[in-house]
Structure 1
């Protein structure tokens, strides 16, 4: 029969092991989240740049249409 004191120690060791695994997992998630945030920031930057380019193209097209009298 296992003594109650040893049984408690065994449970505590098991809990400590699981907590260490969870801490490692949380660290991994933290690194992954940082990478995702950086990637998303890059996507937003590219999108803003593309939006600016499209706005400039639209202005040029509007000016060309006015000069060629193609506007309605």
Structure 2
């Protein structure tokens, strides 16, 4: 009888260990995905600010052209 109880306890502990290992793998996978998302957000931020810089440069050039052609309202 005591042997049956010991086997039942061991079986439950093995199940808990397996569940714990699965949760650990899932957490590690989630951490990798979050790191990847962080890198993508960083790249998008860089692209947005680079695009804004290009737009600002085009705006300055257009203003200069309008002034030279005397099209600007000063």
State TM-score, norm by structure 2.
0.82
Gaps of 5+ in 2: none
Question: Within 1, Cα distance between the matches of 2:38 and 2:25?
Answer: 20
Question: How large is the RMSD of aligned CA atoms in angstroms?
Answer: 1.8
Gaps of 5+ in 1: none
Partner of 1:15: 16
User: Whose RCO is larger (CA < 8 A, sep 6+)?
Assistant: 2
- Runs of 4+ in structure 1 deviating by more than 4 angstroms, as ranges, are none
Question: Within 1, Cα distance between the matches of 2:63 and 2:5?
Answer: 84
Partner of 1:35: 36
State TM-score, norm by structure 1.
0.84
In the TM superposition, residue 57 of structure 1 has moved relative to its aligned partner by 0.6
- The count of aligned residue pairs is 72
